[in-house]
Structure 1
Amino acid sequence: MSNTPLRRRGAALATALMSASLVLTACGGGGGGDTVRKAAETRSVKAENGTIKVPVGPQRIVTIGNTNLPFIDLGGKPVGVTELSRSELEVLPEEQKTVYEAAEVVGSSGGEVDVEKLAALKPDLILVQFHSNDWDKVGKRLETIAPTVYWGLDTEWKAFADAIAEAGNVTDALSQQKAAFTKKVAKIQATYGKIIAGSSFVDVSRGDWNDPATFHIADIGCSEIARDDIGLNLPEAAEGKDPLAYEALPFEQIGKLSKYDVITYPVDAEGKPTKPFVPVIETNTWKALPAVSSGRALGVFCPGNNSYGPVNRYLDSLDSALATLPAKK
């Protein structure tokens, strides 16, 4: 996913999407006859476009929109994908980038899918998540090509991972990632519990989509993990209001961050401030913040927040960052 934070996703589909009763096996497992049989058998999953009969063991999967990265992260090998941005590709582990580059690009990540090119791949399953307007443009055509499972943009990320793993037959990898997630969360809470309980945090960011000389308070994306799963005291929008991240704040308001004990900000995989955020840390106002001058401004790497793999990498970075906090005087 890109650095643009996604909206908080509701968990409404989680129970329905786990309704299939057949036991799944890993893609490509078993002998040739077993693979053919599993590809021919079907089961039902429920998604935003209804109850869909999908292959038990799909062999030729096309991923569209936000399903690209979660499916690949779970060990899937799609035959067709939609385009990823440069920023998304830059944070991918090398082996996942290789899988993505081996697939055929069938169009952009929106509704501009080359349906004929996609059909030529002869998929037996299509996984889709994008805006409902894009679904209105191409959804019915996709459904004529192969079983198509569609999720809206407000699907909560954990439910989304569950659903993709089930539909795409990659549940073994999901179980391992979930176990790692639970372990990492527990470690951070146990190690830094007192710091977390006694400190106010703010997550600030700036993307390449922000206007010059503006930044934003990040209350969606990886900061949701820190707040909702780890328990960091982070600001968030009031119920029913747009996320704070949607409001561009002028640099003149950087000084207001002085009321927080700890500031987190975006860095790349090497720990360097992301290019869009560099103008923020170059301001004198940023340098004068108490959290910055006292070593309580923490760079944290967030490669994405729509599947367990990148979230686990984020937790590793957050763990390392919290370990650098000086003791309170």
Structure 2
Amino acid sequence: MHHVHLRRAAGALVLTLAMTAGCGSTGSAGQQASTGAGADQSAAATRVFAADNGEVTIPADPKRVVATGYAVPSLIEADAALVGISSWRRGLPMMSDEDRATYDRLEKIAGETAAETNYEAIAKAKPDLIVIGVPAPAMADLDMDRLKSIAPVVAIGPTVPSAWRELSQRQSDAAGRSVNFGEAKAAYEKKAGELAAKYKDALSSLKFGHVGAYGEIAGGTFQREFAGSWGTNIATDIGVSYYGEVKKKGGNAADVTEYPSIEELNESLGEADAITYTVQADGKPNEAVQYVLDSKLWKSLPAVKAGKAFPIRYTEAATYASAMKTLDAIDQALAPLLAQ
């Protein structure tokens, strides 16, 4: 469930995302918990993990993992020992063929929202760890006591959009796949660095603005995203500079995005030298973005008149592997700057 929709329905997110690599494992990962006489000590090894729901004792090497929400793509990519997942339709266009095959194969134990959790299906999957990756407001729709009766539960949910980096790291760590996470992170950083060098001169003097995909036509608003939001945080990694900030910070996602009226388009984006805007995986804008593009005020913006408005695909990437597609899309979109 997209964080913007949750924000509108339940208010600003209230999680505080732990930023420390290693994700709060305390004590020895070799801390043992015997399961009876003759039990395999290594199979019973546990550790204490610092999750959003407190310190939780989990298996050191989980063998049967259930994942929901934002934990789904990160744990598929990390090759975690998954036995059940929630659906994650918003991320399907960004999955590799191999990851999509894994997604399709796995048992769906929940729908797109936390309220669509199937507790019987989770119990039937016999997990030894449940990783909940939903925003704080959605946690109210979960029966945590029931989940805890099935297996240890760690909640690792999103705050600001750019925090997917730490979020996916913590989720991978909980599932015992930190090494796999590190490989994906290194590949992303290498590619982002190469693009930063490629566009350094072209981007150095430009101030960017961004139009996101979640404005409301009925309310006559558009979504302005600032640095750290979905549409901007990956572009920032290659040197794109987004100017300004929200007029009134509301905490978490509301710190990096706002919803001005369409009449405020010039006031909001008039200082931009260039503008990026979110489009769907097929390259087409959704209705909310098309509403902005069709506005006479849009056509009068200096950046648009100068031919510096660039559509960006895959702006909702929430893992390093999926963000590689976003980097490719940004490279493709900004290529005309190299010829100017």
Normalising by the smaller structure, the TM-score range is 0.7 to 0.9
Distance of aligned partners of 1:303 and 1:2 in 2 relative to their CA distance in 1, 3 Å threshold: farther
Q: For 1:158 and 1:241, how far apart are their aligned partners in 2?
A: 22
Change (3 A) 1:201 1:186: same
- Which residue of 25, 36, 59 corresponds with 1:19? 25
User: Which of 93, 97, 104 is the equivalent residue of 1:94?
Assistant: 97
- Confirm or deny: 8 A CA contact 1:2 1:304 kept in the other structure: no
The amino acid across from 1:12 in the alignment is: A
Give the counterpart letter for 2:108 in structure 1.
Answer: V
Which of residues 144, 149, 162 in structure 1 aligns to 2:154?
149
Distance 1:327 1:92 in 2: 31
Inter-CA distance 98–327: structure 2 relative to 1 (3 Å threshold): closer
Secondary structure (helix, strand or coil) at the match of 1:145 reads coil
Instruction: Write out aligned runs for 1:116-127 (5 A).
Output: 116-127=120-131
Match of 2:66 in 1: 62
Distance in 2 (alpha carbons) for counterparts of 1:17 and 1:245: 25
Give the letter aligned to residue 44 of structure 1. V
Q: Write the deviation string for residues 161-218 of structure 1: whole angstroms up to 9, x where unpaired.
A: 2211111122232112111222123223322223333111001123276536431101
Q: Secondary structure at the match of 1:211?
A: coil
* Cα deviation 1:102-145 (Å, max 9, x = unaligned): 22222233144222221111111100122445445411221111
**Matched residue, 1:224:** 233
1:197-242 Cα deviation digits (max 9, x unpaired): 3111001123276536431101222413334774513332268445
Q: Kindly indicate whether the alpha-carbon contact (under 8 Å) linking 2:84 and 2:108 is maintained by their aligned counterparts in 1.
A: yes
SS of residue matched to 2:48: strand
- What is the match of residue 202 of structure 1? 209
Task: Determine the C-alpha separation between the residues in 2 that align with 1:209 and 1:91.
Answer: 25
- Aligned residue number for residue 298 of structure 1: 310
Distance 1:241 1:273, change over 3 A: same
Match of 2:83 among 67, 79, 84: 79
For 1:248, the equivalent position in structure 2 comes to 259
The aligned residue for residue 31 of structure 1 is none
TM normalised by structure 2 equals 0.79
Over the matched positions of the two proteins, sequence identity in percent amounts to 27
Given that 2:199 and 2:338 are in contact with CA atoms closer than 8 Å, whether structure 1 keeps it comes out as no
TM-score norm. by structure 1 comes to: 0.81
SS in 2 for 1:214: coil
Letter in 2 for 1:201: F
| SS of alignment partner, residue 324 of structure 1 | helix
Question: What number of residue pairs does the alignment pair up?
Answer: 315
- Distance in 2 of aligned mates of 1:315 and 1:46: 32
Counterpart code for 2:199: Y
**Deviating more after overlay: 68-77 vs 295-304:** 68-77
Looking at structure 1, the residues matched to 335 and 210 of structure 2 have their Cα atoms a distance apart, in angstroms, of 17
Unaligned runs of 5+ in 1: 24-35
Q: Secondary structure at the match of 1:101?
A: helix
- How far, CA to CA, are the matches of 1:131 and 1:241 in structure 2? 16
Which residue pairs with 1:188 in the alignment? 195
Instruction: State the superposition RMSD in angstroms.
Output: 3.2
**Secondary structure of 2:333's aligned partner:** helix
Cross-structure match for 1:211: 218
Q: Give the SS at the match of 1:169.
A: coil
- Could you tell me how far apart the structure 2 residues matched to 1:262 and 1:150 are? 39
For residue 37 of structure 2, what is the aligned residue in structure 1?
Answer: none
Stretch deviating more after TM superposition (255-264 or 120-129) = 255-264
- C-alpha distance in 1, partners of 2:206/2:334? 12
Which of 170, 174, 178 pairs up with 1:167? Answer: 174
Deviation at 1:298, TM superposition (A): 0.8
